[in-house]
Amino acid sequence: MTRFEGYAVLITGAARGIGAATARRFAAEGARVLVTDVDGEAAEMAAAGLRERGLTAEAYRCDVADRAAVEAAVAHAVDTFGALDVLVNNAFHCSPDAPLFEDGSDDAWAADLDITLTGAYRCARAALPHLAASGRGAVVCVGSVNGLADFGNHAYSAAKAGLVSLTRTLAGHAAARGVRVNLVAPGTVRTASWEGRDDELAAFAELYPLGRVGEPEDIAAAVTFLASRDASWITGTTLVVDGGITTGDTGFRAARRGPV
């Protein structure tokens, strides 16, 4: 497939996990991809891996908490590729909850919101003029089911819920400029953050109606769909990609022995 032949794509948090899988999918479908990450060395390794496969990818260190760094990354994409057609807001920060809500720290709350939500705002603000100029611009945000229901992590969940709202309001603004804005909300996905925790993932898999946790490629497929012409009449939506976990209380269903 070459749905993105000639497209220029910038992905944040793309050195590993969902971001790296998304970069692979875009590049495999013909896009020129700028792999950005706060870990510049890891971003370069990810981009080099794509180039080794004959794909087009460059790397750029970008901290989405830094407005100047974001603007420099967008400028680098435009300078390198001549345009910018797709922005994927994937970078995030997730702080563990304190045992008691009242023991939570301002710093943890601020970090989750600044990187996960405000970082996406900074990137969209810098990219929007270029996306509008492309004539086929799209923004895809990577949210979470945490932004839709209670799965813990107060600050991270609040940031992801805010990202749903930002997606909706930005879609309303950007539509007149020819830019679509959508969000993918994943459930549990097997990434490096779960390394060494296979027992936990196996326990989670039993809660998912489809019987497994997600893989980064599952989310990459949804992101690329929303960025493509296949989704040309879709904007402002949240596409839940979660193996069915938000369909209902799976624990209750398993415990039920008869009609309620």
Residues acting as catalytic residues: 156
What one-character-per-residue DSSP string does 194-237 give? GTT-HHHHHHHHTTSTTSS-B-HHHHHHHHHHHHSGGGTT--S-
Which helix (DSSP H) or strand (DSSP E) does residue 181 occupy?
strand 180-186
- Return the structure tokens found at 168: 């909706």
Q: Taking the CA of residue 210 as centre, how many other CA atoms within 13 Å lie in the half-sphere pointing to its CB?
A: 14
CB neighbourhood size of 193 (10 A) = 10
Supply angle C-alpha 236, 176, 233, rounded to 5: 45
C-alpha to C-alpha distance for 200 and 202, rounded to whole angstroms? 5
Task: List strand residue ranges (DSSP E) for 80-131, in order.
Answer: 86-89
Q: Taking the CA of residue 186 as centre, how many other CA atoms within 13 Å lie in the half-sphere pointing to its CB?
A: 23
